[in-house]
Amino acid sequence: MAPRILLARHGQTEWSQLGRHTGRTDIPLLDEGVRGAKLLGERLHRAPWLGLPDVEVRTSPLVRASETCALAGFADRARPWDALMEYDYGAYEGLTTEQIHAQRPGWLLWRDGVPDGETLAQVAARADAVVEWACSAERDALVFAHGHILRAVAARWLGEDVSFGARVKLAPTSLSVLDWAYGKPALGRWNDTGHLE
């Protein structure tokens, strides 16, 4: 069996709802985020997933991801991993894209990076570590993490530059699957929020 990575983005927070860049600030889930995490868990415990009995689970240690993991019913199998923490936005932490554009017109995270935070190369290296870990054994992996780092993981899974993350959106409490097609890494499912409807 070729390993897959199941990506679960954390539930809605106040800052994600407002579009504020939330890197290392530890923001809890809103009630909507708690509800979404429980619905995601219910989905993963029904067919065809059936609780993913053989999956290896990792979570970002930040509360919004680890709480999503726990509410979805995977805390007992999850190990925290710093590689899954969100992008360190440095001086742009807590700002919206509009606020950043007022200071720096035309700014794009995936091209321009951030002052006093992580470089795109550092984010790519963390994403590569996640992909390498996921491919290291004959079992699926389930990770609970954040929008930008999960988009970076998807880019690297596909063999693309990390900047490819700019081209794929990822909603709170979404489920995505990095899979295989014709022996090549592929997107098996992306930004699926059917469990929230």
Per DSSP, the three-state class of 49 is coil
Q: Within a 10 A sphere around the Cβ of 143, how many other Cβ atoms?
A: 28
Asked whether 157 and 165 are in contact (CB, 8 A), the reply is no
CA atoms within 13 A on the CB side of 140: 17
- 81: tokens are 């991993």
CA 153 from centre of chain: 8
Task: Sort residue 95 into left (φ over 0), alpha (ψ -120 to 50) or beta.
Answer: beta
- 14: tokens are 């106040």
The three-point CA angle 112-116-120 to 5° equals 40
Closest CA to 2 of 188, 190, 183, 187: 183
Catalytically annotated residues? 10, 86
